[in-house]
Amino acid sequence: MLPPASALATTTSGFLLVLSIAIPVAGILLAFTLGDRYVRQVALAVVPLGLAIAGAILLAVPQGGGLIVYLLGAWSPPLGVALRADGLSAVMLATTAIVICVVAVFATTDFRPASDARTSFAFWILLLAVWAALNMIFVGGDLFTLYVALELLTFAAVPLVSLDGRAETLQAALRYLVFALLGSVLYLLGAALLYGFYGTLDMVLMSRVVSAQPGVLIAVALMTIGLLAKTALFPLHLWLPSAHAGAPAAASAILSGLVVKGSFFILLRLWFDVIPGLPSFAAAQFLAALGTGAIVIGSVVALRQERLKLLVAYSTLAQIGYLFLMFPLAVNAVGQLETGQALAAGLLQTISHATAKAAMFLAVGSIYTELGHDRITGLGGAARVLPLSVLTFAVGGLALMGVQPSGAAFAKELLLQEAMRTGQWWWAAVLHAGGMFTTAYVLLVLAFALAPSDQPIAPIQTALPRRDLAALALATCSLLLGLVPWEPYLPISHDVMPKLFSRDGLAKLLLSVLGGATLAILLNPWRHPLAASSGWKAMGKVLEPLRRICFRFGDLVDKADSILRQWAAAGISLLLLGLALAVLMFAAN
C-alpha cells in the first residue's frame, strides 16, 4: 500500500491532496458567509470542482509511481504532518466524489431554501463536511490526523440522521453519537499508547519500528475495537439500523454508502500499513467470523422487515460483514498480512457497496415520496407506476448480488481464488451463502414490486426524472465496475475477468439465484399477492413444514438482534470483543 522509501518528501502533484480537503472546507466557509439563500448554489458549484480534483489525483497516482505526497509546512515527519495517496486512496477519493455528486443532484429538490431554509442549510453544509472529513481520512498519513478526521466525520454524520427533527430520529442520532464517541475514546487510547512507545504516529515511520510488545498489542486491540464500533460490525451495530432507516433518503445514502467506509479504511491502514506482521492468523479469523455473523443476522432480519428502508438498512449490516472476509485470506504463510488480491477484493467490495447501496437508498426515497409509504407488501404495481425507481433498486440489487460484470462479482471471484489458494474452504462457503442471502432480499422486494396491484395505484407526488436518472446512473456504475481497469491501483491478476463469464462463473450465479429464491420463500413471513394461485398453493404445502422451522429461526434471530441493540448488551459485547482480540494477538506473539 504505502511504499515507505518514497513517502517522506513532497511529490509534484502533492498539492492536489490539500485541494481535496480545502475545496469542501472553502465551500462551507463561503456558504456561511453568503447565508442560507445561496447555500445550495455554493454546494452545487463545489461538487464538480471536487470531482475534478479527485479525477486529477486518480490520474496522478500511477504517474507518480503509485504514491503522491504533500508535507504540510515542508516539515517532514515526525515533526511535521504528511498527506499521502496511493492506489487505494485514489479510488476511494474518486468513489466518494461520484457518490457525493449523485446525492447532490438527487437532493436538489428535497433541500431547497425556499421550502425549509434551516433544514436545507444544514444538509448542504453537512454534505460538504462529510466530504472533507472522508477525503482527510483517505489521504491522512498519521494516526492522529486520521483520528481528527474520524471525529469530524462523526460530528458531520450524526446531524444528518435527525434532519427532520422527529423524536425517533433524534433518539437514533443520540445513540449513534454516544456509541461512536465510545469508539473514538478506545481509538485515541490506543493511539496514545503507540505514541508513548515510538514518539510518532506517522504510519510510514511507525511501520519500520513497530514490534510485538505487550503495550503495542493492547493499543492495536483498543484501536481495532473502537473502529469496529464506528463501522457497526456485528454485534456492535447498536446504532446502525435506526440511524440509517430514520434519516432522509439523501442522508441515508451518504451514511450507508460512505460514512461507515471511513472507519473501515482506517482499519485497513492500521492492519496493512502499520502492523502487517502483528495480527495473528487467529485474530484475522476472528474478524471474519464477526463478518459472518453480520451476514447471517443482517440478512435474516432484513428478510423479515415490513418497511423497505429498514430492509436496506439491515442489508447494510450484512454487507459490512462481507468486507471483513478478506482479513484471513490476506494472511501469508508466515502469518503476515499481504497487500495482494484479498486486499484488492476487499476494496472492490467496499466500492461496489458504496455505489450500489447509495443508489438503493435513493430509489427507496423516491418510492416513499411518490407512494407515501415504503411497506414491502404494499408495493404491488410499483414497477408500473414508478418504473425508474424500481429499475434503480433492481440494478443496485443485481450489483450487490454479484451479477457479472459488477464489482461485487469481481471481488467475490478474487476472494474465492484466495480461499482456494490458502486452503480456507470455509470462507468460500460463507461467500456463497452470503450471495444467496443478498439475492434473497433483492428478489423478495422485486417479487412484490413486479406483482399486479389489487387496486389502482397512483403517486401522491411526482418527482423530477433527474432524481431517478442520477440514482440509476450510480447503480449502473456499480453494475459495471468489473470492466474498469484496476491494475494501476490494485494488485489484481489479469485472468479474473474471463472467469466471471465462464461456464463456472455462470453456474455460481445460477446457484446464488436459486438459493436466494429458496431463502426468500422460506424466511420471509409475508404473503405474496400471487400466493392464491394453484401453483403457489401446491408449493406452499410442500414447503410449509420447512417454512415453520425457518420462521421460528427468524424469530430467534430477531430476538437476538433486539437484545444486542440494547445498551447493556452492546457495552458487554464491546468489552468481550476487545478482550478476545487482545488474547488472540497475545497468544500468537
8 Å CB contact between 383 and 445: no
Provide the grid cell at 511. Answer: 446457484
Place of cell 448554489: 41
* Rounded-to-integer distance, Cα 569 and Cα 505, Å: 41
C-alpha span between 44 and 474 (Å, rounded): 18
The rounded distance, in Å, linking the Cα atoms of 419 and 325 is 10
Q: Spell out a b/e string for 250-270, using b for 16 or more CB atoms within 10 Å of the CB, else e.
A: bbbbbbbbbbbbbbbbbbbbb
The cell numbers describing 223, all together, are: 484501536
User: Poorest-confidence range of 145-154, 523-532, 533-542?
Assistant: 533-542
Q: How many whole angstroms from its chain centre is CA 76?
A: 33
Cα angle for residues 109, 114, 119 (degrees, 5° grid): 75
Residue-range domain boundaries for the chain:
1-141, 142-588
Q: How far is CA 345 from CA 316, 350, 397, in A?
A: 18, 9, 19
8 Å CB contact between 241 and 297: no
The residue-averaged pLDDT of 191-199 equals: 93
Beta bridge partner(s), residue 307: 375
Q: Is 84 helix (H, G, I), strand (E, B) or coil?
A: strand
pLDDT band at 523 (very low <50, low <70, confident <90, very high): confident
Question: Nine-digit cell at 318?
Answer: 450484512
- Residues 185, 183: Cα–Cα separation, whole Å: 5
DSSP strand E in 355-430: where?
A: none
Which pLDDT does position 5 carry in this prediction?
46
What ranges make up the beta strands (E) of 219-362? none
Question: Three-class SS of residue 113?
Answer: coil
Distance CA 134, CA 99 (A): 12
Going by C-alpha positions, the residue among 506, 507, 407, 390 that lies closest to residue 450 is 390
Nearest to 351 by CA among 370, 329, 331, 323: 323
Residue 549's alpha-carbon distances to 462, 516, 553, in angstroms, are 43, 17, 6
Greatest alpha-carbon pair distance for the chain in Å reads 76
Integer angstrom CA distances of residue 398 from 109, 402, 432, 512, 535 = 27, 6, 15, 11, 27
CA 285 to chain centre: 21
Q: For residue 247, what is the DSSP state?
A: S
Look up the pTM and report it: 0.94
Q: For residue 43, which amino acid is it?
A: A
CA-based angle 445:447:450, to the nearest 5? 105
10 in Cβ contact with 69 (< 8 Å) = yes
| Range picked from 64-68, 474-478, 522-526 for highest mean pLDDT | 474-478
Check residue 558 and give its pLDDT. Answer: 92
* Chain segment 265-307, per-residue pLDDT in tens: 999 999 999 988 887 788 999 999 999 999 999 999 999 998 9
Question: Which residue has cell 475495537?
Answer: 225
Question: Residue 541's pLDDT is what?
Answer: 65
Rounded to an integer, the average pLDDT of 67-77 is: 88
Side-chain-side CA neighbours of 493 within 13 Å: the count stands at 12
Give the residue ranges of DSSP H helices in 501-566.
503-523, 534-564
3-state SS class at 202: strand
In contact, 403 and 500? CB cutoff 8 Å: no
H or E segment and range at residue 69: strand 68-71
pLDDT score recorded for residue 75: 86
pLDDT class of 535 with cuts at 50, 70, 90: low
pLDDT, mean of residues 364-384: 87
Residue 535, burial from CB neighbour count under 10 angstroms (0-12, 13-18, 19+)? exposed
Angle between helices 387-401 and 341-371 (to 10 degrees): 160
Q: Which helix (H) or strand (E) holds 468?
A: helix 465-479
Q: How far apart are CA 96 and CA 25, in angstroms?
A: 16
Q: What is the pLDDT of residue 78?
A: 83
Contact 187, 274 (CB under 8 A): no
Higher local confidence (pLDDT), 5 or 139 = 139
Query: Hey, what's the cell of 570?
Result: 452492546
What is the structure's pLDDT at 405? 87
CA distance 317 to 302: 9
What pLDDT shows up at residue 499?
A: 64
Q: Kindly report whether the peptide bond that precedes residue 248 is cis, defined as omega within 30 degrees of 0.
A: no
**In which residue are the cell numbers 498480512 written?**
337
Question: Percent of the chain, pLDDT > 90?
Answer: 59
Identify the pLDDT of residue 474.
Answer: 95
157: CB partners within 8 A, 6+ apart? 126, 130, 176, 254, 255, 259
Cα–Cα distances in Å, from 81 out to 3, 92, 205, 209, 341? 17, 21, 12, 18, 30
Element (H, E) at 70: strand 68-71
CB contact set of 277 (below 8 Å; sequence gap of 6+): 210, 212, 335, 336, 337
pLDDT, tens digit (0-9, with 9 covering 90-100), for 548-571: 888 889 899 999 999 999 999 999
Structure confidence by residue, pLDDT tens digits, 101-122:
999 999 988 887 656 778 889 9
